Chain A
Amino acid sequence: MDTTGHSTLAEWTAGDAEAIERAVAELRRELDAGYYAMVTEGEGQARQVTELPLDAELVILRRPIAGG
Chain B
Amino acid sequence: MSGAAPLPETSAVHWRPRADARRLVTRGRTWTLTTVAHTVPFAGTAALLAALEPLSFPVGLALLAHAWAIPELYARRGANVVRPRPRAEEAPERVALGLLGDLVGHDARELHASTGLVPERGALGVWLVGEAGAVLVNPGGRRVFCWCVKVPEPGLPSGDRIAHLLLALRADEQGFATVANLAFSGAPWRLRRRMHPRARPALDAAVRLSRMSSRNS
Contacts and interface: CB of A to CB of B under 8 A. Distances in A.
Interface in B55-71: none
B68 to A, nearest CB: 27
Nearest to A65: B168
A28 interface: no
Interface in B155-187: 155-157, 159-160, 163-165, 167-168, 170-171, 176, 179-181
Given A5-B92, A5-B98, A43 B164 contact: no
B52 interface: no
Interface string A1-27: 111111000000000000000000000
Given A65-B9, A67-B179, A6 B160 contact: yes
B4 A5 contact: no
Contact of B155 (A3, A6, A36, A64): A3
A48 B5 contact: yes
Contacts, number: 111
B8 interface: yes
Contacts of B121: 44
Interface stretch (B25-33, B145-153, B188-196, B209-217): B145-153
A17 B94 CA distance: 33
B103 interface: yes
Interface string A38-57: 10110111111000000000
Contacts of A66: 9, 12, 149-152, 179
A63 interface: yes
A63 B164 contact: yes
Nearest to B156: A3
Nearest to B121: A44
Given A43-B105, A65-B179, 20 more contacts: A1-B96, A1-B99, A5-B91, A6-B95, A38-B167, A40-B103, A44-B120, A44-B122, A46-B2, A47-B4, A47-B5, A62-B163, A62-B167, A63-B151, A63-B153, A64-B8, A65-B151, A66-B12, A66-B149, A68-B149
Interface of B: 1-2, 4-5, 7-9, 12-13, 81, 88, 91-99, 103, 105, 120-122, 132-133, 147-153, 155-157, 159-160, 163-165, 167-168, 170-171, 176, 179-181
29 contacts: A1-B99, A2-B156, A3-B88, A3-B92, A3-B155, A3-B156, A5-B93, A5-B95, A5-B96, A5-B97, A5-B160, A6-B96, A6-B99, A36-B8, A40-B167, A43-B105, A44-B120, A48-B7, A48-B171, A60-B167, A62-B164, A64-B9, A65-B176, A66-B151, A67-B147, A67-B148, A67-B179, A68-B133, A68-B181
